[in-house]
């Protein structure tokens, strides 16, 4: 087993960012993503497990009620996004912190600002020219003017972060590097030898867990790997199906096997069976 936990697992994500004892880690991370007027002075967790009507869906989603240094209150919903229909899920999950602001009796419907921050261990952007590691989404009108400034989505596509240790420039870079590489580290890299990261490494060290926690983590890790393997298999099947379709069109057009093999990577036997 690796020295440090995988932060993409439900257990690892909660261990780093969903425990009261580690809220200084969460504050430091979130402040890299939030604007100056919403820098967090303090926060508390509305729920660290799940809402009762969605017990399995909300295991790794935190409703975080924050107080800015200005005194303004706002909500951050932080999640380790799931792969299938993640945009739909993000919109749906955000209805919970909106609905929870409703008050009994007379109410003017004024809402506090809400940020949805999703960490994705997969890429959803397919358009090469519009791919973004960090995507900030707001409600805008047809002229791209902001229609509503209290609702923000921030999607972090972790696979698109490719910086190595010597290329890290900002504190945010260091956090993303830490999260992406955590499970592969044997020791703390020199560039991450700062108090906040040293605490994060200590929190993430498997040896510091109880036997019950290690069992829970291992189960969470296996579940994560099963989902990833299922997704990878589906992607491979999809790519192979696409290759067969291309080969079929080329074969119908009378193209020779050598050319079909060059463009699809299929074998002679696979082409002959089409």
Per-residue pLDDT of 49-104, as tens digits, reads: 444 455 455 456 888 999 999 999 999 988 887 767 788 888 888 888 888 888 88
DSSP symbols for the chain: --SB--TTSHHHHHHHHS-GGGHHHHHHHHTTTS-GGG-EEEEEEEESS--TT-TTTTTTEEEEEEEETTS-EEEEEEEE--STTHHHHHHHHHHHHHHTT--SSS-------EEEEEEESS-----GGG--SEEEEEEE-TTS-EEEEEEEEEEEEGGG----GGG--SHHHHHHHHHHHGGG-SS--GGG-SHHHHHHHHHHBGGGS-HHHHHHHHHHHHHHHHHHHHHHHHHHHHHHHHHHHHHHHHHHTT--HHHHHHHH---HHHHHT-
Measured distance CA(273)–CA(62) in Å, rounded:
51
pLDDT of residue 78: 87
Long-range CB pairs of 126-130 (<8 Å, 24+ gap) are none
Long-range CB pairs of 134-140 (<8 Å, 24+ gap) are none
Across the beta sheet with 134-140, the strand order is: 40-47, 61-68, 73-80, 114-120, 146-157, 134-140
Q: Is the dihedral of CA 121, 193, 78, 223 positive or negative?
A: positive
Question: Which of 21-30, 34-43, 95-104 has the lowest average pLDDT?
Answer: 95-104
Question: Which of 31-35, 92-96, 214-218 has the lowest average pLDDT?
Answer: 92-96
Between CA 72 and CA 81, with CA 77 as vertex, the angle to 5 degrees is: 155
Select the highest-mean-pLDDT range: 15-29, 59-73, 244-258: 15-29
Measured distance CA(99)–CA(250) in Å, rounded:
55
Residue 101 neighbours by CB distance under 10 Å: 13
Q: Residue range 231-245: average pLDDT?
A: 61
Task: Decide if pLDDT at 194 tops 90.
Answer: yes
Spacing of C-alpha 264 from chain mean position:
33
Token output for 190 = 């020199």
Measured distance CA(199)–CA(20) in Å, rounded:
14
Contact criterion met (CB below 8 Å) for 123 and 157: yes
Task: Decide if pLDDT at 134 tops 90.
Answer: yes
Q: What is the CA radius of gyration of the chain?
A: 23
Measured distance CA(200)–CA(192) in Å, rounded:
10
Q: Residue range 16-37: average pLDDT?
A: 94
pLDDT of residue 50: 44
pLDDT of residue 259: 75
């Amino acid at each position: 087993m690796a020295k440090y936990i995988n932060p993409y697992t439900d257990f690892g994500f909660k261990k780093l960012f969903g425990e009261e004892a580690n809220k200084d880690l969460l504050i430091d991370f979130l402040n890299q993503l939030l604007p100056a007027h919403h820098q967090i002075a303090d926060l508390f967790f509305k729920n660290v497990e799940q809402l009762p009507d969605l017990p399995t869906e909300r295991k790794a989603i935190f409703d975080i009620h924050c107080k800015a240094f200005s005194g303004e209150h706002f909500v951050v919903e932080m999640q380790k996004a799931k792969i299938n229909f993640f945009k739909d899920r993000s919109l749906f999950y955000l209805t919970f912190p909106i609905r929870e602001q409703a008050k009994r009796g007379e109410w003017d419907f004024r809402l506090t600002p809400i940020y949805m921050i999703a960490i994705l261990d997969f890429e959803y952007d397919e358009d090469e020219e519009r791919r973004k590691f960090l995507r900030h989404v707001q409600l805008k009108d047809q002229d791209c003017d902001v229609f509503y400034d209290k609702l923000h989505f921030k999607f972090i596509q972790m696979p698109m972060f490719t910086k190595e240790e010597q290329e890290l420039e900002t504190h945010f870079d260091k956090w993303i590097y830490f999260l992406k590489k955590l499970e592969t580290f044997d020791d703390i890299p020199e560039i991450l030898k700062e108090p906040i990261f040293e605490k994060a490494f200590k929190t993430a060290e498997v040896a510091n867990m109880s036997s019950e926690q290690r069992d829970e983590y291992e189960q969470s890790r296996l579940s994560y790997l099963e989902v990833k393997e299922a997704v990878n298999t589906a992607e491979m099947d999809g790519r192979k199906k696409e290759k067969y379709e291309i080969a079929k069109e080329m074969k119908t057009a009378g193209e020779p096997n050598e050319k079909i093999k060059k463009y699809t990577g299929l074998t002679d036997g696979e082409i002959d069976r089409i």
